[in-house]
Structure 1
Amino acid sequence: MSETIVRHRTGGFDDDGDPIPVSDPELELVPLGIAPGATADVEQLGRHGESVAFTVYLRHGSDVVDGDELEIRGKRYRARVNVWRSQRRANAGGLEVFATLGRG
């Protein structure tokens, strides 16, 4: 059985400080893979006070955007989304999502 993660989406807050409702607050996703930490290409996130706990690989078109939260192995992380394309195959690629903690 494949590991699943849960995407949590919040709508933010309006001008009065009230929460904005969203139509799809939670979505269960099956990642292509989950790797601990970050690749050398994204180590610069640490310079902005964020620590990358996991790198999650999802199919292209998965419904995850920057600012969503991902629940991975029982803990919630902020999502930073990067779209990648295969250098070897046309129309191949997906989403590389950095599950981050903290902000300085």
Structure 2
Amino acid sequence: MSERLQLRLGGTTDDAGNAVAPGPATPITAIGVAPGASVDVLALGHDGEKVAYSVYFVPSPGQLTDEHELFVRGGWYPVRTYVWKSANGTGRTGMVAVCERGRG
């Protein structure tokens, strides 16, 4: 079941270390949103990150990178993106965006 989300370029810092405001939000549609991390995502090793959601896209949206944030179920989250491959042997691939709640 697909879910409509919002995507924006995350807040960054300029060369002088000053905060730069996040970019404007644009709509994006995921094929699924799962709370927490799947077994595949946990196997990637996250350096103590706490995963709020794993968001799945097929096909992989080219505009989504690790520099973006997703608005998922009421909150903005920085993401880490990975190639995703279906576990049921269909050969279907896409992208999983891991929404980080914070760092441990």
**TM range, smaller chain:** 0.7 to 0.9
Distance 1:75-1:42 versus aligned 2 partners, 3 A rule: same
Computing the radius of gyration over CA atoms, which structure comes out larger, 1 or 2?
Answer: 1
Pairing of 1:13-32 with structure 2 (within 5 A): 13-18=13-18, 25-32=24-31
Distance 1:10-1:100 versus aligned 2 partners, 3 A rule: closer
Query: RMSD of the TM alignment (CA)?
Result: 2.6
Structure-1 separation of matches of 2:21 and 2:100: 24
Between Structure 1 and Structure 2, which shows a larger proportion of strand residues?
2
Q: TM-score, normalised by structure 2?
A: 0.75
Q: Identity of counterpart residues, as a percentage?
A: 35
Distance apart, 1:27 and its partner CA: 1.8
Q: TM-score, normalised by structure 1?
A: 0.75
**Does the alignment pair 1:71 with 2:48?**
no
Unaligned stretches of 5+ residues in structure 2: none
Large movers: runs of 4+ above 6 Å = none
SS in structure 2 at match of 1:42: helix
Structure 1 residues 8-44: Cα deviation after superposition (integer angstroms, max 9, x where no partner): 203633223456688x632211110111111123323
Structure 1 residues 21-79: Cα deviation after superposition (integer angstroms, max 9, x where no partner): 88x6322111101111111233232xx23111111101233121113111101111111
Pairing of 1:9-88 with structure 2 (within 5 A): 9-10=9-10, 12-18=12-18, 25-43=24-42, 44-45=45-46, 48-62=47-61, 63-86=63-86, 87-88=89-90
Structure-1 separation of matches of 2:24 and 2:50: 25
Answer yes or no: is the 8 Å Cα contact 1:70–1:77 preserved in 2: yes
Distance 1:69-1:84 versus aligned 2 partners, 3 A rule: same
SS in structure 2 at match of 1:88: coil
